Amino acid sequence: MDFKRPGLANNLEGERDCALVKGGSPFWFSIFLMPMFLSLQACNGSQVAIGSHAVPSAHVGGSSGRAGASKDGEKGGGKESGSSSGKNDDQREGVIGSEYYLKVPQLGFEEAVKRYMPKRKGKSAEKSWSDYSQAADVATHADDYSSAELLLSKAIELDPKNAHLYYKRGRAKYNSLDQKSDGALLDFERAIELGERDSDAFEHLGELYYTKKEFQKALDVLSRGINESNDPRKLYRSRAPIYLSIGDKEKALSDYDTALKETPTFTRGYIMRAQLYESLGRNEEALEDYKNVAKYEREGERMDKKSVAVKLRASLLDKLGRHKEAVEVLTEGLELFQKDDELLRLRGEQFLKLKDYDKAVSDFSRSIKEEPHYAGAALEARSRAYDLMGKKNLAEADRKAALELKDRPAEKPVY
């Protein structure tokens, strides 16, 4: 089994987005308890109403993922060799998954050198900052962030003006099991002060300021990164939810517009912009953004956001009283996710509102069959349909069955 630890950045942006668009407050450490990316108690349990029940609002993980393994170190015009485990935009989105995390035994400095620094025959025994930095890369790839920090501290001792070394040490602290966020913040600050231009440095520093509720500092560093970093595109998506945190929805919307223009495959951005449109009453634009998720979502993503967008699009149509359109959207979703019990239940709710009781009962029954241990809402919904059909005994049986599930988790996470 591969034991890993999620970095601080894994879900911050998605958590901020969800909390702020819905008007809630971030609940940071619930992130680390979520078994899956969209299986969540998002926004402190905030919900989106659809049909007669509420379903958890969409939460789509953060932008940066765990701070990646080292990139080539730089000092002036020189570079050291190194490798990167950086991921593409969607692969980097915060997905914790059902992983388990095991603390790596902490090594002393000499042990770290022995384990991670290759012996070089025929060369001077004297080691340079680059040697220690490359050894830190090896430690980072082994998820041994404590050793990486020790090795990078030695590299900094030998070359105290090397901005990239502070950045790399900041990442090691950022990802460490004991979450040395204050130390990471100081290292990222120092790296940028010395001229680091990697956009990740600005992004991570902005997120750390955000967790400390220093919103203006977060905005300032991300704005600076947009002007000075080597790849400012993702910084727009990091800055948008911070504008939301101070109530500036128009600037947040502008940043999402820019982020999506620069990276059309940033599908989580369509979901977040759609929710922002909803909060502004711009419902048709919200519906179009939910639709865009299916258009731009790439095959093979670790978590498919299409089902999220389908449910949220149907939710908005339900809110607008456009139940036939909601049925069409949910039917399209079921063509892709045939065994999704929530899509079945939500479509049943729409049939119920359209007074097509037979189809409603059929969908509720299929939903119950797919997930009998999490069928409380579907049983309650089917009982209402049976009541409307005059089938009181069946309705009472469903209500009894739903009550028997109350001692269990009432609903599995929707997404």
Shared-domain flag, residues 306 and 286: yes
Shared-domain flag, residues 41 and 15: yes
Report the SS3 class of residue 120.
Answer: coil
Full residue range of the structural domain in which residue 327 is found:
323-415
What's the DSSP call for residue 410? S
pTM of the model as a whole: 0.71
Per-residue pLDDT reduced to its tens digit, 77-97: 334 433 333 434 443 333 333
> Around Cβ 370, how many Cβ atoms within 10 Å?
18
Structure tokens at 274: 């759609």
Shared-domain flag, residues 282 and 335: no
Shared-domain flag, residues 352 and 393: yes
- Asked whether the beta carbons of 256 and 273 are under 8 A apart, the reply is yes
Structure tokens at 213: 């509720």
Report the SS3 class of residue 78.
Answer: strand
Diameter over CA atoms, the chain: 91
Quickly tell me which residue has 């039917």 as its tokens. Answer: 331
b/e 129-158 (16+ beta carbons within 10 angstroms → b)? bbbbbbbbbbbbeebbbbbbbbbbebbbee
Shared-domain flag, residues 3 and 95: yes
Shared-domain flag, residues 282 and 370: no
Shared-domain flag, residues 65 and 93: yes
In a domain, 396, yes or no: yes
In a domain, 116, yes or no: no
In a domain, 312, yes or no: yes
Quickly tell me which residue has 């203006």 as its tokens. Answer: 216
The pLDDT confidence band at residue 296, using thresholds 50, 70 and 90, is confident
In a domain, 197, yes or no: no
In a domain, 93, yes or no: yes
In sequence order, what E strands does 325-414 have? none
pLDDT for residue 183: 95
Shared-domain flag, residues 249 and 397: no
Domain count, the chain: 2
Total number of residues shown for the chain: 415
Per-residue pLDDT reduced to its tens digit, 1-32: 332 323 333 333 443 444 344 433 332 222 22
Would you say the C-alpha torsion 273, 225, 83, 103 has a positive or negative sign? negative
- Asked whether the beta carbons of 245 and 22 are under 8 A apart, the reply is no
Shared-domain flag, residues 374 and 338: yes
Would you say the C-alpha torsion 112, 118, 121, 125 has a positive or negative sign? negative
Shared-domain flag, residues 7 and 83: yes
Task: Look at residues 114, 198, 195, 186 and name the one whose alpha carbon lies nearest to residue 150.
Answer: 114
Phi then psi for 47, rounded to 5 degrees? -130, 160
- Asked whether the beta carbons of 278 and 23 are under 8 A apart, the reply is no
pLDDT for 58 beyond 50: no
Last residue of a domain, one of 304, 320, 336: 320
In a domain, 141, yes or no: no
- Asked whether the beta carbons of 200 and 208 are under 8 A apart, the reply is no
In a domain, 285, yes or no: yes
The pLDDT confidence band at residue 169, using thresholds 50, 70 and 90, is very high
Shared-domain flag, residues 13 and 96: yes
Instruction: Report strand pairing: 53-56 vs 78-79.
Output: unpaired
CA 213 to chain CA centroid, nearest Å: 19
